């Protein structure tokens, strides 16, 4: 069901990259939240920043307690990490399929590929809803609250900052606006409305996160996903409106960090899915920050 390994939370943070396409893609969204996100790639530095402390003995106690909390499988932290990881690994498959779908539609000689791919817009709309579902469930795991705490999640979204807000900016921009355009929220709702439980069961991302979604069968899990997306659509619309976001602005900013040719704009959504893991990257940072905050209160 995932990748639970022997590594501790400080190992994960310390191994996060300082450069690369994922980091560049996130830096490109700085215009959405100027100066709010710091790319923490060292757990000790993160601990000092979150706590605002410099006493080494105290910081060591906090770090040890944070690691202890993460390693405790009765807590929800490892499950949240697994969810972030699974989401990005599924994105690689989705991105490849979307990429091939776009190519088959552009070049008639490759139309035979239609037999092996699914419609890119539909697939990416469903992926958007499932990513939001992952964020909701990870939020409940991290905070130790029931999995259907929709109202708590929506309230928390308004208060999101730093790495958590960056993750949501990535969701809105790279999984919403870029591949689907300004109507991405409606397309997500439409895709879920037309989706059957059997079709949901065939989705690659759903199969990977299925065990974490509340519900006894695919029909009830589909209902959970629909309710979760519906509860957050107003927040997403407000986020776009508040920041005056468009796909053009996102692409323009991305071009400052990644070479994006006009000829390949149709494939950009699939390319981002295939080459970035911003959910796992910022999810690791979120987990570390919440663990340190809790550890401070328990030391």
Dihedral angle over CA of 219, 220, 221, 225, nearest 10: 100
The pTM of this model reads 0.88
The confidence score (pLDDT) of residue 115 equals: 46
Nearest-angstrom CA–CA distance, 33 and 120: 29
Q: Residue 45 is encoded by which pair of tokens?
A: 């530095």
The confidence score (pLDDT) of residue 271 equals: 80
DSSP per-residue letters across 144-176: T--TT-HHHHHHHHHH--HHHHHHHHHHHIIII
The confidence score (pLDDT) of residue 103 equals: 44
Q: What is the pLDDT of residues 263-274, one digit of tens each?
A: 566 677 778 888
Q: What is the mean pLDDT of each run of 10 residues along the chain (299 residues)?
A: 67 96 95 95 97 96 97 95 87 50 45 48 87 95 87 93 95 93 94 94 91 95 96 96 95 87 68 88 97 95
């Amino acid at each position: 069901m995932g990748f639970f390994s022997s590594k501790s939370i400080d190992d994960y943070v310390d191994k996060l990259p300082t450069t690369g396409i994922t980091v560049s893609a996130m830096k490109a969204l700085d215009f959405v939240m100027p100066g709010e996100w710091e790319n923490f790639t060292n757990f000790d530095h993160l601990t000092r920043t979150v706590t605002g402390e410099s006493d080494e003995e105290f910081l060591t106690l906090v770090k040890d307690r944070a690691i202890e909390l993460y390693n405790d499988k009765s807590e929800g932290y490892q499950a949240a990490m697994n969810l972030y990881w699974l989401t990005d690994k599924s994105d690689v498959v989705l991105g490849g399929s979307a990429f091939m779908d776009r190519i088959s539609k552009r070049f008639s000689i490759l139309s035979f590929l239609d037999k092996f791919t699914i419609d890119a817009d539909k697939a990416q709309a469903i992926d958007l809803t499932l990513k939001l579902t992952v964020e909701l469930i990870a939020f409940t795991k991290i905070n130790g609250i029931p999995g259907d705490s929709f109202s708590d999640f929506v309230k928390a979204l308004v208060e999101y900052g730093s790495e958590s807000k960056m993750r949501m900016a990535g969701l809105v921009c790279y999984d919403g606006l870029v591949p689907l355009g300004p109507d991405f929220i409606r397309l997500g709702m439409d895709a879920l409305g037309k989706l059957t439980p059997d079709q949901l069961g065939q989705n690659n991302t759903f199969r990977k996160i299925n065990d974490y979604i509340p519900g006894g069968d695919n029909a009830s899990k589909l209902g959970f996903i629909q309710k979760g997306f519906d509860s957050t659509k107003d927040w997403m619309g407000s986020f776009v409106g508040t920041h005056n976001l468009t796909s053009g602005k996102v692409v323009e900013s991305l071009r400052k960090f990644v070479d994006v040719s006009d000829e390949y704009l149709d494939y950009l959504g699939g390319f981002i899915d295939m080459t970035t893991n911003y959910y796992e990257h910022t999810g690791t940072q979120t987990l570390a920050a919440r663990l340190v905050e809790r550890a401070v209160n328990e030391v």
